[in-house]
Amino acid sequence: MSKVELNKETGPREVFCGLTSIVWLHRRMPDAFFLVVGSRTCAHLIQSAAGVMIFAEPRFGTAILEEKDLAGLADAHEELDRVVNDLISRRPEIKTLFLVGSCPSEVIKLDLATVSEKLNKRFLGQVRFVNYSGSGIETTFTQGEDGALKALVPLMESTDDEKLLLVGTLANNVEDRFKKIFNHIGITNVESFPPRQSTELPKIGKNTKVLLTQPYLSDTVRDLKHRGCEIIYAPFPLGVEGSSKWFLAGADAFKINELKVHEVIAPLANRARQALEKHTEILRGKKLFLLPESQLEISLARFLHNECGMELIEVGTPYLNKDLMDEELNLLPDDTKIVEGQHVEKQLDRVRATSPDLVVCGMGLANPLEAEGISTKWSIEMVFSPIHGIDQAADLAGLFSRPLKRNQILTSKTLATH
């Protein structure tokens, strides 16, 4: 058991809500549509978080609740029917439609499960409806993905075939790479969840061994377990160390000799460590403060400390699932200060008091901290960039060394920011 220092904090937060994960989920499954049932705020949120990056017509939208919808729930169900009809006639290529609950729809207790059921009957054979909540009173940022995946689990058919199931959204190139490496190790039946097409859900059962690629999938894992899947506990595949242990854990579940795994990954690891060097030169000894946002903070802290030599001041996380994170916590230095939850003002006071060299934070805080002379890295970049795996370790480190390098370049000349 790790001796890290676990703290809890409550107060005003500065994090995205679970709706935001639609932004990467809709890219992953191009045949799916995400319909948020919410307010103008929800529509504005997704647009602001994603809008400027997307040029095509988005595969997500909002059914905006109006005053008359709040008056009577029966009306709201009919209204939703109408909106869904409009949408499907506009986008006939949609195969799966996620009805996504939001704060207002949760508070007025709009029953999206019943709506989905009815719609499923009506559109049988054409569109499949699933529902989950991305509401900010229940979920933060990446937890939305957990909700979406959990909603898909009941739709996965059963099988007794032995397979390795990688769970969590990855960049396509990273996913291909992982499958290839597992093939070299000797595991050939490797599938991914979520799949690239929402209709091609992998089959699962008692011989399915689940290896998580993302740490924020607690509910999905619980449901996969109920379906008989075996969960492989491992550190997450970030950095050389995390990825190597992750591959080893996967191979071990298939009773593959450790030497065989080392044989495959050692050359990759050597190459990656070399590539890491130019970043560790910049990162070594620098003080790092991670504010809570993506739930990748603990894995990132482990990588940046163990492999890049950074000093950890504080590791914030919006939510801590000790079962899933135990392997990671064990790899952290004993005195690491972990803070679950947030009181953003007090946390910023601590940032200022400890003058870190780099702060990992959400987009709302980045420029204000930069203006105070503190270098930052956006959390959101971790969920949009291919950062997983041994081959990506240097790229991952690069995300953190770049702001520091930029700082050196600019301050060594004549640019003062105030």
Residue for token digits 């499923």?
Answer: 120
Q: What are phi and psi of 227, to 5 degrees?
A: -85, 5
103 assigned ligand-binding residue: yes
Nearer to other proteins, 84 or 256 (CB): 84
Q: Give which of 231, 238, 187, 183 is closest to 209, Cα–Cα.
A: 231
Distance CA 269, CA 390 (A): 6
Cβ burial of 23 (10 Å; 0-12, 13-18, 19+) is buried
Nearer to other proteins, 201 or 365 (CB): 365
Nearer to other proteins, 57 or 334 (CB): 57
Could you tell me which residues come within 8 angstroms of residue 100 by beta carbon, excluding any fewer than 6 positions away? 19, 22, 34, 35, 36, 37, 38, 131, 132, 133, 134, 144, 148
What is the smallest separation between the CB atom of 45 and other proteins, expressed in angstroms? 5
Nearer to other proteins, 61 or 147 (CB): 61
Distance CA 53, CA 196 (A): 21
229 assigned ligand-binding residue: no
Could you tell me which residues come within 8 angstroms of residue 85 by beta carbon, excluding any fewer than 6 positions away? none
What is the smallest separation between the CB atom of 66 and other proteins, expressed in angstroms? 5
What is the smallest separation between the CB atom of 294 and other proteins, expressed in angstroms? 14
- Which residues form the interface with other proteins (CB under 8 A)? 11-20, 37, 39-41, 43-45, 47-49, 51-52, 55-58, 60-67, 69-70, 76, 79-80, 82-83, 86-87, 103-104, 106-108, 135-138, 140, 345, 362-368, 370-371, 417
Distance CA 299, CA 293 (A): 13
Nearer to other proteins, 39 or 189 (CB): 39
- Start-to-end CA span in the chain (Å): 47
What is the smallest separation between the CB atom of 194 and other proteins, expressed in angstroms? 22
17 assigned ligand-binding residue: yes
What is the smallest separation between the CB atom of 162 and other proteins, expressed in angstroms? 39
Annotated binding-site positions = 17, 42, 103
Annotated binding-site positions for [4Fe-4S] cluster = 17, 42, 103
